[in-house]
Structure 1
Amino acid sequence: MSLKTGRGAEAPPFIVMDVIAAANARAASLPPSAPGILRMEVGQPATGAPAGAVAAVEAALRSGHPLGYTEAFGLPSLRARIARYYLDHYGVAVSPARIAVTVGASGAFPLAFLAAFDRGDRVAMAAPFYPPYANILTALGMEPVLLECGPETRFQPSLAMLEKLDPLPDGLVIASPCNPAGTMLTPDELAAIARWCHEKGVRLVSDEIYHGLSWGTVAESTAAASSPSAIVVNSFSKYWCMTGWRIGWLVLPEDLLRPVECLAQNMFISTPYLSQVAAEAAMDCGEELEAKKAGYARSRALLLEGLPKAGFDRIAAADGAFYLWCDVSHLTNDSVQFTGRMLEGAGIAATPGVDFDRTRGGRYLRFSYCGAEAAMAEAPGRLAEWLKR
């Protein structure tokens, strides 16, 4: 007997998760005396949550509080603290009522997409792109519209590119800094795109999860400052180093508050209480977090100097996040096979570009540099030796 499968079964894989599994298996197979695997495949900070967050959780566990459900949109104190972040960081007043605490940014995207779009709607995004954007949309019966972007637009969509779309899409996803290229839109570019989307009736979803991790080349700005209809996604995973705590947030336009709340009530009930306690405390750990950021900056500088000497000399402008997007077409046109050989031969795990770009990804790969600084310093030498063999 043949059983029916749902549309969600058609979602493509998130290949970096397969790379993680392969790197884990390779590490487990090595003898104790062998050099370890250098983990450059995943955007997960090597350090854990800031000390203040851990202390807040310890206090909550000792308090005797039941640690139960919260409101679907999260603890009022955390929502107020996030609202203060917008005022402090961007000079933008956002009401706490517009903030929805979510189960990571990964939990935020289905809520945003389901509330804003219908089955069959077309949602544009730059390619290369973070794979779950398109994969979640596909699973929900929506159509990703991929806009091929290159170095000439810093791997970001331009207003001129959007104005040529016919018909116009129902939505647009942007990310600044973006994953995988680490490039950013200038504040003027972001504002112009946000205003254009609002005027044309195109729902903007702005992924801002790498805010706090920019390197001085382009200023950070938020779509919330330029459009009352934009949806903003952010997360505690990256700057705040809290990947496993699974906590993020949405800044929502007024018309989507109740729809998203109802979806969140049914899909998640609420974000875990302890994660919310930790997140609120983490927002006051600026000194420690800036020290962690300084470590990424040192790793970035080492790689931008060392990778070209090793043979990886075609790197996208690394404005923010903690990734280097490398054109390796002079070395291979099969990034999956190439990164597999790199793992076996050099002991370095990196992500093949096909995860981020379906047509050109065979000649790109992504290095993440948020791992241990010593590992990042070692990587160029290992790569140079491997390429000589």
Structure 2
Amino acid sequence: MKKSKRSNVDPFIVMDVMEAARKAEQAGKKIIHMEVGQPGTPAPKLANEYIKKELKNNNLGYTVTLGLPQLRSRISKLYGDWYNIDLNPERVIITTGSSGGFILSFATLFDAGERVGIGSPGYPSYRQILKAQNLVPVDIETKLQNKYQPTSEDIKKNNLNGVLVASPANPTGSMLNKSSLRKLIECSKEHNVSFISDEIYHGLEYESKAVSALEITDHCYVINSFSKYFSMTGWRVGWMIVPEDHVRQVEKVSQNLFICPPHASQITALAALDAKEELDQNVNVYKKNREILLEELPKAGFTTFSPPDGAFYIYVDISKFSNDSLSFCKKVLDEAGVAITPGLDFDQKRGANTIRFSYARSTEDIIEGAKRIKKFMSSYN
């Protein structure tokens, strides 16, 4: 049987790095994981205890497609707490992770062949999900001086049907302030470009609070998840917020693609929303880890990067050392026992000259990782 052209997507290289690191650990080597956006903490204790009790009741099954009403209502309250927004819970749709949110957003907003702008460097799965839906991903080549964020001019000149903006962003950790985000949203509206805001790293900010697109407009899609701030990557539960007149359309697509999000994950997420104290302690760990790498990476020779505003990544230019980031990362893994991610995932044109460090793990691991990297770079040629 033939395979469809639209299924011919690129691999997610960071997953290959994870597998190489796993094999090294299986062989008995101690690996420091700085390759993946996997919090070093589990789901909040409060949430874990809650789901244990619910599992004993054995009442799990299908939920309504849009998600548990109490979870949707609790998320709408979160927007009041975080952004002082009075959000109608009917606009909140629970998804199977943020990935489910992207699939539903693209399927609802765009017809086959339409053009969607994404920042480069940026999260690679945007591009591959768009391609799999027979849409055209348009890489916006962002610049270091703009903190690797798109500008209004990028929207004007690319003949777009939609644009997806992430703040804080992966892999750079950069954020848009309210003025910059407003300019992008207003420019999108002026040019009839659908606006999608990826806010999965909200809650993970270090010097100023991230701005939600919903603080500026209701005419957008917002996607978030319990994976990052809530430390629930493996639970695969997230949410999206859409205009009221789009809810039914998204619901119909979701009914057929997903039926409903996982019931157990929704229950756990509901409890996680009340674990603020524990979650904020996690953020303090990331903040400390960030400070360590901002101090130690330049000592190892890595000096060209934009200090991250949020998330838990630092995206570094290594062009003075190598123009083959994949081989460079393999060498670091083999010789230093540190797993890091080549930039090829994030930027198809310039990724061979960049790498991404994740500082989501324990501070002890970050200190050891920095020590190993400095030793490796001292003898690198």
TM-score interval, normalised by the smaller of the two chains: over 0.9
- Check whether the contact 2:305–2:314 (CA below 8 A) recurs between aligned residues: yes
Match of 2:143 in 1: 150
CA shift for structure 1 position 219: 3.0
Are residues 1:90 and 2:102 paired? no
Distance 1:255 1:116 in 2: 12
CA shift for structure 1 position 222: 0.8
How many residue pairs get aligned? The number is 379
Distance 2:373 2:45 in 1: 35
Are residues 1:206 and 2:197 paired? yes
Give the TM-score of the pair, scaled to structure 1.
Answer: 0.95
State which of 30, 48, 53 in structure 1 corresponds to 2:47: 53
Distance 2:303 2:215 in 1: 37
- Check whether the contact 2:312–2:359 (CA below 8 A) recurs between aligned residues: yes
Code of the residue aligned with 1:19 in structure 2: it is V
Match of 1:229 in 2: 219
Taking the TM superposition and a 5 Å limit, the aligned residue runs for 1:132-281 are 132-163=125-156, 165-166=157-158, 168-216=159-207, 218-281=208-271
CA shift for structure 1 position 386: 1.3
Taking the TM superposition and a 5 Å limit, the aligned residue runs for 1:1-389 are 3-30=1-28, 34=29, 36-64=30-58, 66-163=59-156, 165-166=157-158, 168-216=159-207, 218-389=208-379
- Check whether the contact 1:176–1:207 (CA below 8 A) recurs between aligned residues: yes
Please list every run of 5 or more consecutive structure 2 residues that lacks an aligned counterpart in the other structure.
Answer: none
Spell out structure 1 runs of 4+ moving beyond 3 A: none
CA shift for structure 1 position 120: 0.3
CA shift for structure 1 position 160: 3.0
Distance 2:153 2:101 in 1: 29
CA shift for structure 1 position 314: 1.7
- Check whether the contact 1:50–1:289 (CA below 8 A) recurs between aligned residues: yes
Moved more, 309-318 or 126-135: 309-318
CA shift for structure 1 position 94: 1.4
CA shift for structure 1 position 114: 0.4
CA shift for structure 1 position 177: 0.2
Please list every run of 5 or more consecutive structure 1 residues that lacks an aligned counterpart in the other structure.
Answer: none
Identity of aligned residues (%): 41
Code of the residue aligned with 1:29 in structure 2: it is A
Code of the residue aligned with 1:350 in structure 2: it is I
CA shift for structure 1 position 106: 1.0
- Check whether the contact 1:116–1:256 (CA below 8 A) recurs between aligned residues: no
CA shift for structure 1 position 126: 1.3
Give the TM-score of the pair, scaled to structure 2.
Answer: 0.97
Report the secondary structure of 2:149's partner residue: coil
Code of the residue aligned with 2:43 in structure 1: it is A
Distance 2:310 2:131 in 1: 28
Distance 2:367 2:374 in 1: 13
CA shift for structure 1 position 388: 2.6
RMSD of the TM alignment (CA)?
1.2
Distance 2:218 2:309 in 1: 27
- Check whether the contact 1:310–1:381 (CA below 8 A) recurs between aligned residues: no
- Check whether the contact 2:90–2:244 (CA below 8 A) recurs between aligned residues: no
